[in-house]
Structure 1
Amino acid sequence: MRMPPRALRHSILTAAAAAVTLVTACKAPQPDAVGSVQVSAQTGTKQAAQLTYDFGDTAYAPPGLEGKRTELKAAVTYPRGLGNGKHPLLMMLHGWADTCSAGDKPVRPQVWPCGKGARPVDNYLGYSYLARALAEKGYIVVSVSANGIQAQEQGQGHIARRALLDKHLEMWQQLAAGKGPLRALKPFTDHVDLNRVGTLGHSRGGGGVIAQVLDSHKRPPGVNIRGALALAPAMNGIDAGKERITRVPIAVVAGTCDAMWDDSKIPLAMAAKNPHARHYSVTGANHNFFNTVWTPGSGPSFASDDVAIENRNLPGGRCKSTNGTGNPRQLKPAEQRQAAIRYVTTFFDKYVR
């Protein structure tokens, strides 16, 4: 495990310090970020580096959240050979889960920002295994935190989530021109391709990426979304009877032991006239194991196997399917994540790369 290249890390953190000074010095609030930006580098792999940018817990008030504010925060996983041409951009969005924890217990009911003695649950880091696999193939991957939305939504969560994705994409579009609130990430300026963008969402995050590619939704100018993939999506307010998805390739991946399997078929009806719409069933997969933070053993103590108690741990390590295909062997977390990597990389390599 190594840090990003020293020269790149120095450039990013130096630029971040300058951006912080600029934001703090302005008397009028910045339109895109209320707080000052913080950029930090994390460990990565031999081929993929990672950093996080964070504008604060109340930096953005998206539509659909009734004026309440949420964070502008994301983990960026990218190829260590960043300077080799332009790279396609992938956005990831997590679903609904516990937002804050105090010690080893979740804070319930949900609140945002987290109160004294509590800290945010890092739901957005649960797809780091996917981000690393994609970065090693040449993608820049941005996994967006949406804790503030999940703690405060009132039935219009899909609107807030797609707006949050649009906001991050807007900032990356500005960065591609060397401008905007993400200018602290200057090394990316000439190496991100906004004409090759893909989106991935899980659970309610899947509903968010579906909402973003609806025919009725106008996306940020200068951004071309070439493919959207939803892992076990929850529609969360989308009117499937009225909305359509015919212009963007879309794939849905869901486990056969996931209670959301039936719902995962809904987007396919919305994309009936889309020749690039596919549904993939992962035999023996549940809902939570796609996210390592939601998985017992790799997540916090309150992470869980979401297959209903009466439907799991059947003889032979089997689970009762929710799509009428019997009782398959339930996949181990590592097996389920390997399946996700195969489906995700194949889809984005076909439509985005």
Structure 2
Amino acid sequence: MKKILTAAAALLLTVIWLPSATASTVHRVGIATYSLGDSVFELPPGSDGTSAKGELTAVVHYPKDLAGHRYPVVLISHGLWISCADRQAWKDQDWEKLDAWPCAAGTPEIPNYRGYDYLGTTLAAQGMIVVSISANGSKARMGQEQDQARAALIGQHLKMWQQLSSTGGGPLAGKLPVSFKGRADLTNVGLMGHSRGGRGTLFYAADQNQQNWPAGVRIKAVIPLAPAEPFSPDEDPDNPELDAYRITNIPVGGIIGSCDGAVRGRVYDYLQAHNRQPLYEWHVRGANHNFFNTQWSPGSGQVGAEDDSPADCGDQRLTEPQQRSVATAYTSAFFKRYLLNDRSGMPLLTGAVRPFAVDVKVDQGVGSRR
């Protein structure tokens, strides 16, 4: 009976929100992938002078009706997770094998970047080109050095897409089944990063780092999804340690869960002190960390997938479908507003309407009703 009720609750969430969230959907969705190699991108050198190389791999969800359109681009960066699907190594907790990059011969990699296909499908159907990138090789660096590596990886993908759209050339020429020349608007980009990907995304979009964006690229909206917190030795929102992650001139919408067993996830505390653009933070009661990524969730059967909710979380846990329905609703409403100038989801973003049988607390900063 409990399983029946859980399934019914998940269905109810879908019926309540998703039809209205996708009411303007008119685009059939295409899916493509590209991989230029596992060790082709030179990551920024570490403080010890050592170097490492990562992959240039991604999955792309896009509106099939490309002709005659120029769509905004959403880039997604996954979090820090094991790279290699070695079940025996997971049983032995052999991190050297699990975190190896590239993975050992005969050991498949974990496609962490495919964990957000559900978001890619929805956003592409609403008129966006969604590029979810692989960052398994970035774990060669830790701390802020990993954030720098992830930012460099984001920048490289955006640079390649700017070249592809503007001239049809660059490293991605001939790597995709359809032509994106003139179809991707790199002056209208949204970023979403999960976990350590969220922290890397904040680093990339921070005021002081915007000078490093590729020519012709402009970031217009950022979603840190259950992001790892930037280091700060105190609770002072003006601490210089936070400057490398401080965004004041771009709309930001954070999503965090009350049953997150990995991170605290708050960015509102230090961003709201200086932001000049809309700022939101949505606290989802019962959401954990891993269910936002399907590869990390038990339903996938993937190596290492687990429910990270702490035993002492007193809130009713959300199921995998419930948690992703909430994430999809807020993510699509946010990007539709700030990339497509579609204000239909504003009541959801501001908390004026609460369509879910799930408690979502909303914090808002300057100009959040715009």
| Identical aligned residues as a percent | 38
> Retained in 2: the 8 A contact 1:125–1:293?
yes
Counterpart CA distance in 2 for 1:47 and 1:148 is 33
Cα distance change, pair 162–328 in 1 and its aligned pair in 2 (3 A): same
Deviation for aligned residue 1:119: 1.6
> Retained in 2: the 8 A contact 1:199–1:227?
yes
Counterpart CA distance in 1 for 2:306 and 2:169 is 42
Deviation for aligned residue 1:104: 6.8
Could you tell me which residue of structure 1 aligns to residue 72 of structure 2?
88
Q: Report matched runs for 1:134-213 at 5 Å.
A: 134-150=123-139, 152-155=140-143, 156-177=145-166, 178-184=168-174, 185=176, 187-213=179-205
Counterpart CA distance in 1 for 2:72 and 2:272 is 24
Could you tell me which residue of structure 2 aligns to residue 8 of structure 1?
none
Could you tell me which residue of structure 1 aligns to residue 116 of structure 2?
127
Cα distance change, pair 139–79 in 1 and its aligned pair in 2 (3 A): same
Cα distance change, pair 245–87 in 1 and its aligned pair in 2 (3 A): same
Comparing 176-185 with 333-342, which one deviates more in the overlay? 176-185
Cα distance change, pair 338–204 in 1 and its aligned pair in 2 (3 A): same
Could you tell me which residue of structure 2 aligns to residue 283 of structure 1?
285
Deviation for aligned residue 1:126: 0.2
Q: Report matched runs for 1:14-29 at 5 Å.
A: none
1:117 and 2:109 matched: no
Deviation for aligned residue 1:240: 4.2
> Retained in 1: the 8 A contact 2:79–2:193?
yes
SS at match of 1:265: coil
Could you tell me which residue of structure 1 aligns to residue 216 of structure 2?
222
SS at match of 2:222: strand
Counterpart of 1:205, as a letter, is: G
Counterpart CA distance in 1 for 2:135 and 2:61 is 18
2:323 to 336, 339, 345: 336
Counterpart of 1:213, as a letter, is: A
> What do the CA deviations read for 1:145-183 (whole angstroms, capped 9, x no partner)?
000112x12321110001100000000111112221112
Cα distance change, pair 235–261 in 1 and its aligned pair in 2 (3 A): closer
> Retained in 2: the 8 A contact 1:233–1:260?
no
1:232 and 2:226 matched: yes
> Retained in 1: the 8 A contact 2:262–2:308?
no
Could you tell me which residue of structure 1 aligns to residue 360 of structure 2?
none
> Retained in 2: the 8 A contact 1:64–1:157?
no
SS at match of 1:127: helix
Cα distance change, pair 348–179 in 1 and its aligned pair in 2 (3 A): same
Could you tell me which residue of structure 2 aligns to residue 13 of structure 1?
none
Deviation for aligned residue 1:111: 1.0
1:50 and 2:50 matched: no
> Retained in 2: the 8 A contact 1:204–1:236?
no
> Retained in 2: the 8 A contact 1:202–1:232?
yes
Could you tell me which residue of structure 2 aligns to residue 77 of structure 1?
61
Comparing 103-112 with 158-167, which one deviates more in the overlay? 103-112
Counterpart CA distance in 2 for 1:136 and 1:104 is 40
Could you tell me which residue of structure 2 aligns to residue 252 of structure 1?
254
> What do the CA deviations read for 1:25-74 (whole angstroms, capped 9, x no partner)?
xxxxxxxxxxxxxxxxxxxxx92111111011001012155410000000
Deviation for aligned residue 1:242: 3.2
Could you tell me which residue of structure 2 aligns to residue 61 of structure 1?
42
TM-score, normalised by the number of residues in structure 1: 0.78
1:97 to 81, 88, 95: 81
Cα distance change, pair 183–280 in 1 and its aligned pair in 2 (3 A): same
Deviation for aligned residue 1:241: 3.5
Counterpart CA distance in 2 for 1:170 and 1:73 is 14
Counterpart CA distance in 2 for 1:102 and 1:266 is 34
Counterpart of 2:336, as a letter, is: D
Deviation for aligned residue 1:271: 4.4
Counterpart CA distance in 2 for 1:116 and 1:189 is 37
Deviation for aligned residue 1:116: 2.0
Could you tell me which residue of structure 2 aligns to residue 266 of structure 1?
267
Cα distance change, pair 165–349 in 1 and its aligned pair in 2 (3 A): same
Counterpart of 1:159, as a letter, is: Q
Counterpart CA distance in 1 for 2:243 and 2:87 is 45
Instruction: Please list every run of 5 or more consecutive structure 1 residues that lacks an aligned counterpart in the other structure.
Output: 1-45, 312-319, 321-326
> What do the CA deviations read for 1:76-108 (whole angstroms, capped 9, x no partner)?
111121224111100000001111123575462
Counterpart of 1:89, as a letter, is: V
CA-atom RMSD, angstroms? 1.9
TM-score, normalised by the number of residues in structure 2: 0.75
> Retained in 1: the 8 A contact 2:55–2:137?
yes
Could you tell me which residue of structure 2 aligns to residue 241 of structure 1?
242
Counterpart of 1:179, as a letter, is: G
